[in-house]
Amino acid sequence: MSLESVTNSIDKAVNSLFDPVATWLTEVVFYAVPVGGTELPLIVAWLVVAGLVFTTWFGVVQFRKFKLAIDVVRGKHDESGSPGEVNHFQALTAAVSGTVGLGNIAGVGVAVSIGGAGATFWMILCGLLGMATKFVEVTLGVKYREEHEDGTVSGGPMHYLPKGLADRFGNPGKIFGSILAGLASIMILFFGLFGGNLFQINQSYTQLAATTGGDDGPLGSSGGALFFGVLVAALVGIVLIGGIRSIASVTSRLVPAMAIMYVLACLAVIGWNAGAVPGAIGTIIDGAFNPEGVAGGVIGALIVGFQRAAFSNEAGLGSAPIAHSAVKTKHPASEGLVALLEPFIDTVVICTMTALTIVIAKPASWKVGKEVEGVSVTSDAFGTVLPWFPHLLTVAVLLFAFSTVLTWGYYGLKAWCYLFGRSRASEMLFKVIYSVFAVAGSLLSLETLISMADAVLFMLAVFNIIGLYLLAPVVKRELNSFVAHVRGAPRSGTQGADADADLSVKS
Query: Which residues face 153 on adjacent strands?
Result: 147
The CA distance from 239 to 185, in Å, is: 22
Q: In the predicted model, what is the mean pLDDT of the chain?
A: 77
Look up residue 370 and give its amino acid. Answer: K
Helix (H/G/I), strand (E/B), else coil: 357: helix
- pLDDT (tens digit per residue) in 356-404: 888 888 877 777 765 555 677 887 887 877 677 777 777 777 777 777 7
Domain assignment present for 275: yes
Residue 497 has pLDDT above 80, yes or no: no
Mean pLDDT score, 114-118: 81
The CA distance from 490 to 337, in Å, is: 22
In contact, 447 and 203? CB cutoff 8 Å: no
Burial class, 494, CB count within 10 angstroms (exposed 0-12 / middle 13-18 / buried 19+): exposed
The CA distance from 24 to 12, in Å, is: 19
Residue 138 has pLDDT above 60, yes or no: yes
Angle between helices 42-57 and 119-143 (to 10 degrees): 60
Mean pLDDT score, 6-12: 57
Domain assignment present for 99: yes
In contact, 376 and 202? CB cutoff 8 Å: no
**Cβ of 498: how many Cβ atoms within 10 Å?**
11
Query: Which residues face 147 on adjacent strands?
Result: 153
Lowest-pLDDT range of 234-248, 271-285, 347-361: 234-248
The CA distance from 119 to 153, in Å, is: 38
Tell if the pTM clears 0.85, that is, is over it: no
In contact, 319 and 404? CB cutoff 8 Å: no
At residue 181, the pLDDT reads 93
- pLDDT (tens digit per residue) in 73-89: 887 776 766 666 667 77
Range of the domain at 271: 27-498
In the chain, % of residues over pLDDT 70: 74
Domain assignment present for 329: yes
Domain assignment present for 1: no
**Strand-pair category, 38-41 with 146-147:** unpaired
Question: Of the spans 164-168, 266-270, 411-415, 441-445, which averages the highest pLDDT?
Answer: 164-168
Mean pLDDT score, 111-130: 85
Domain assignment present for 175: yes
Task: Look up the CATH number of the domain holding residue 340.
Answer: 1.20.1740.10
Residue 450 has pLDDT above 80, yes or no: no
Q: How many domains does one find in the chain?
A: 1
At residue 504, the pLDDT reads 39
pLDDT greater at residue 35 or residue 462 = 462
Domain assignment present for 399: yes
Mean pLDDT score, 199-224: 71
Question: Is residue 492 very low, low, confident or very high in pLDDT (cuts 50, 70, 90)?
Answer: very low
pLDDT greater at residue 63 or residue 387 = 63
**DSSP type of residue 327:** B
**DSSP type of residue 156:** S
Angle between helices 199-210 and 102-114 (to 10 degrees): 80
Query: Which residues face 146 on adjacent strands?
Result: 154
The CA distance from 350 to 104, in Å, is: 7
Domain assignment present for 377: yes
Domain assignment present for 375: yes
Question: Is residue 44 very low, low, confident or very high in pLDDT (cuts 50, 70, 90)?
Answer: confident
